[in-house]
Amino acid sequence: MNSLLLATDTAGYTMPQTWRVLTKAGYFIGLSGAIGTTVTYATTVRPSLKHAQEAGDPGDAVVLRSRSASYAAWAGVVLLLAGYFQLAGRVARAGKGMAFGDALAPGRMWDFLQAPAAKGAWIAQGTVYLVQNLVLLAAAAAMIALFLPAARRHLDRIVLAVLPAALAVTLIAAVPATAPADLDRWLDLFLNQTHIVSGTVWLGGLALLVALAGARAGLGAGAGVLWAEIWRRFSLVALVCVGAVVLSGLWLSWKHVGAVSQLWTTGYGIALLVKILLVLGLITAGAFNQFWLMPRIARARRADDTASLRHLTLRHFPLVVWGEVALGVAVLAVVPFITGSARSEAGSAKAVSSGSLFAAGAAMALALAVSLYATAKASEALARRSPAIPATA
């Protein structure tokens, strides 16, 4: 964070106000809770619990379903509060601007949402935000309903219904009020949303699973089998998210950074560099999971070593994930400082795409896909020969 403070002395960079930092970071935390929870529950937790119930071990599934419902309900509360303060932030920045405290008034918000469309716009920007916040309200209300015992009986249905609504919260906000001028602008919109969705699934999923792992005291001796399946499924989800984050991040970085030196000579670049280092930390922790923990979990599972399996899945793995969650929160705290453009600060030319750039991007995407596939296969190969860790390790 000290590096971010240096950005205040960088010509052309404007340090965001405290309320802007808190509202933007809070908004992404809210999105991570809603999107990450629903996607991870649907793709990872739900099928794993169903498998455990079919195997005749419903006890642990009941505990984790209950904890999932509680977590989703609190995620709904966070999403609702984050959405309210994010809307206030938009109101404070609109037009000539106003004090953030004044923007918190519902009347000010309503005036903002009812503002007429600008000249040449196909829809009023306020209308876009109105629709977004109605969807956000519906998603948050459905999640908050999970505090009620009657709603918890329909946990699967509620989560599956909220999932597209949670995704729509960020996608609707990205709808342009005026038609994008060129292909680059369309790609900016698409890849920015790809970056947001994949990042929130990744970070929000990690937070959900580490919260569920906290219920280990109430789980049976054979819970390691269930958790081995949960970590296996989420590892695949995380691999896809990593690929999407890296590819979209490369495009967005190229659009706003004209030279490597701008990463430490501009305010935007310094903030981005801090974010990149934090994300590299996340990827490193993920690689540790793939190449060290997952093979040992798989070996212990095949050997039916329940003691080692429980220790690995509910002690070792959550410790690493806690570190990833901490890094993820730090990433979200840095995001509000990435404002403007390093190119404009440094006086560099605007980024313009070309056929050769798209060809290079396609080659890079293919190489990344191959590397992620190789990562999964290498983890499987290690699982066939690595020794299991003793339960007392």
pLDDT digits (tens, 9 = 90+) for 236-270: 999 999 999 999 999 999 999 999 999 999 999 99
Residue 254 lies in a domain: yes
For residue range 33-54, list pLDDT tens digits in order.
999 999 999 999 999 998 877 7
State the pLDDT confidence band at 387, using cuts at 50, 70 and 90: low
Q: Are 41 and 67 in contact (CB under 8 A)?
A: no
The answer to whether residue 5 scores a pLDDT higher than 70 is no
Amino acid found at 115: A
What is residue 148's three-state secondary structure?
coil
In a domain, 391, yes or no: no
Burial 306-320 (b: 16+ CB within 10 A, else e): bebbbbbbbebbbeb
Q: Count structural domains, the chain.
A: 1
Asked whether residue 244 is assigned to any structural domain, the reply reads: yes
- Helices then strands, each counted (H, E), the chain: 19, 0
Instruction: Give the CA distances from residue 169 to residues 116, 135, 196, 350, in Å, rounded to whole numbers and listed in that order.
Output: 22, 6, 11, 30
Closest CA to 363 of 276, 247, 199: 247
Residue 392 in domain: no
Does the pLDDT of residue 272 top 80, yes or no? yes
pLDDT of 92 above 90: yes
pLDDT category, 392, cuts 50, 70, 90? very low
The answer to the question of residue 388 being in a domain is no
- In which domain, by residue range, is 121 found? 2-383
Confidence of residue 10 (pLDDT cuts 50, 70, 90): low
Asked if residue 365 belongs to a domain, the reply is: yes
* Angle 254-255-259 from CA coordinates, rounded to 5°: 50
Which amino acid is present at 271? A
Would the pLDDT of 86 be above 70? yes
Query: In this model, does residue 168 exceed pLDDT 80?
Result: yes
What mean pLDDT comes out for the span 334-362? 89
Query: In the prediction, which pLDDT does 55 show?
Result: 62
User: What pTM was estimated for this model as a whole?
Assistant: 0.91
Q: Distance between CA atoms of 219 and 260, rounded to whole angstroms?
A: 50
CA distance 205 to 185: 30
Within a domain: residue 80? yes
Backbone angles phi, psi at 150, to 5 degrees: -65, -40
Q: Is 240 helix (H, G, I), strand (E, B) or coil?
A: helix
φ/ψ of residue 264, rounded to 5: -125, 5
Within-domain flag for 393: no
With a CB cutoff of 8 Å and minimum separation 6, the contacts of 154 are none
Asked whether the predicted pLDDT for residue 7 surpasses 50, the reply is no
d(CA 244, CA 191): 9
